[in-house]
Amino acid sequence: MVICLQCPHEDDSSEEDTTEEVYSPLTLEKLAMKRLLRGEALAISALKDLPHLLFPVMFEEAFINGRTKVLTAMIPVWPYPYLYVGMMIENRNLKTLKAMLEGLDILITQKVRSSRCKLTEINWKNEYHHVTGIWAGSCKLLPGFMTQKQPVQNRPGCGVKKELKVTTQLRLIEGRLGESDRYLFQWAQQRKDSVHLCYANLEIEGLTKASVIEIFKFLHADCVQDLLLGYLSKEDLDFLNPYLRQMNNLLNLTLCHIRRTLSMGDSEMLLLPPFHCLQKLSVNDSNYVYGNLKGFLRCLKKPLESLIITDCNLSQSDLDCLPYCSNIFYLKSLTLDSINLCDLLIEPLGFFLERVGHTLENLELESCGIQDSQLNTLLPALSQCSQLRVVSFNDNEFSLLFLKKLLHHTAQLSQLERDIYPAPLECYDRDVILSHRLEKLCPELLDILTAKRMPQEVTFETTQCSNCFGHYIYDLETENCRYEI
């Protein structure tokens, strides 16, 4: 329980927000599209003369404004191979999905395709949240989209070849599908000869065996590249194991709230099937990891790139095994967050850092309760992590003296682009955050870094106030202490 001295009034922050108005003028193209879309029939008749470049803009406007007839009409003449509906786009609902699928139906039943139509794949949903609008997949053709990262990265395809592909994300919560997911699933089942419904992203939270069996009758396990499993027991995972075994292209696996049941003895370990191309493994709030980390990591058959363990308990034997798990020796990213390490000997973590020092680019040890004496044992290994670009030690209990020691080590890491440190213990009076002390101490702390390298982004952050949930941040850029929620 930590509180700040002056929790700002709620009104203050809202005042700040309103003063910063973002003005974004509509582009001429968008204005023209808005005008055109006032009459759907006119817009549809204008499609035949519409330049390729304007298709995504028009589609986006029609989508946001629910002009479903226009959406349907645009699909069979879409002049690009790819149509990506950004995750954050407004109006993503059953109505707009139905309109697009109606357009695909026209395309499928056409004996002769329009020579203009190049469409082979629609991406209805996936994890690239930063794409907000409509994307046609080629940044060369779409100057307006040049600033956005290309959504399709170098990922292997699932290999299923059909006339049309609809890539989407499937969420199965307690055995139920959402309205749009259910509709799309049934639509694709009825057109399985010409359409491949590609579930690159699958989430199963809470298990209903019958629905998993139904889904997997239709789903190609090879399509799944990102898998999230949540709120499951060991028995549930045993049931899913044969399905997991078939996921030969699985790149990212996230396990949340996997519970060890009371009937499960300590010796009874949870074994996952071998994964041959897994790159990223995340485990969140799962008590079965405790004492079982070694057995758990045995599923990795290829060196892992990213390991994230958050809100879990680890035993001493779990830490001890880290320097001996060869399948994690090439990690680029290690996150241990909200794991209580303060009662453990963390030397093995130091040995492990020495092992991964040549590849590790991102190291986050946040809210781990690491204390001065423990930090000391990590420092020599940390100095060897020469590739580090991001480090975060946020929310640990370091005194000013040890924080300075840490900074003398990270000052040597020339690749660092982003450093996040906890405010030293001297910035608290028992449980009260003293922001003025943070403001006073930080320039001296920053000097340690600037003496050795040109730091880019550095912040010192206090613990969250239990009352207002805000915290204080001092950063290199502003050289000021600010309050943030």
Contact footprint for Zn ion (CB under 5 A): 4, 7, 158, 160, 198, 223, 465, 467-468
Three-class SS string for the chain? CCEECCCCCHHHHHHHHHHCCCCCCCCHHHHHHHHHCCCHHHHHHHHHHCCHHHHHHHHHHHHHCCCHHHHHHHHHHCCCCEEEECCCCCCCCHHHHHHHHHHHHHHHHCCCCCCCCCCCEEECCCCCCCCCCEECCCCCCCHHHCCCCCCCCCCCCCCCCCCEEEEEEEEEECCECCHHHHHHHHHHHCCCCCEEEEEEEEEEECCCHHHHHHHHHHCCHHHCCEEEEEEEEHHHHHHHHHHHHCCCCCCEEEEEEEECCCCCCCCCCCCCCCECCCCEEEEECCHHHCCCHHHHHCCECCCCCEEEEECCCCCHHHHHHHHHCHHHCCCCEEEEECCCCCCCCCHHHHHHHHHHCCCCCEEEEECCCCEHHHHHHHHHHHHCCCCCCEEECCCCECCHHHHHHHHHHHCCCCCCCEEEEECCHHHEECCEECHHHHHHHHHHHHHHHHCCCCCCEEEEECCCCCCCCCEEEEECCCCEEEEEC
Indicate the residue among 73 and 198 with the shorter CB distance to Zn ion. Answer: 198
CB of 6 to Zn ion, least distance (A): 7
Indicate the residue among 73 and 223 with the shorter CB distance to Zn ion. Answer: 223
Indicate the residue among 160 and 401 with the shorter CB distance to Zn ion. Answer: 160
CB of 468 to Zn ion, least distance (A): 3
Indicate the residue among 198 and 346 with the shorter CB distance to Zn ion. Answer: 198
CB of 328 to Zn ion, least distance (A): 29
CB of 123 to Zn ion, least distance (A): 12
CB of 173 to Zn ion, least distance (A): 22
CB of 62 to Zn ion, least distance (A): 28
CB of 394 to Zn ion, least distance (A): 18
Indicate the residue among 416 and 465 with the shorter CB distance to Zn ion. Answer: 465
Indicate the residue among 158 and 325 with the shorter CB distance to Zn ion. Answer: 158
Indicate the residue among 253 and 465 with the shorter CB distance to Zn ion. Answer: 465
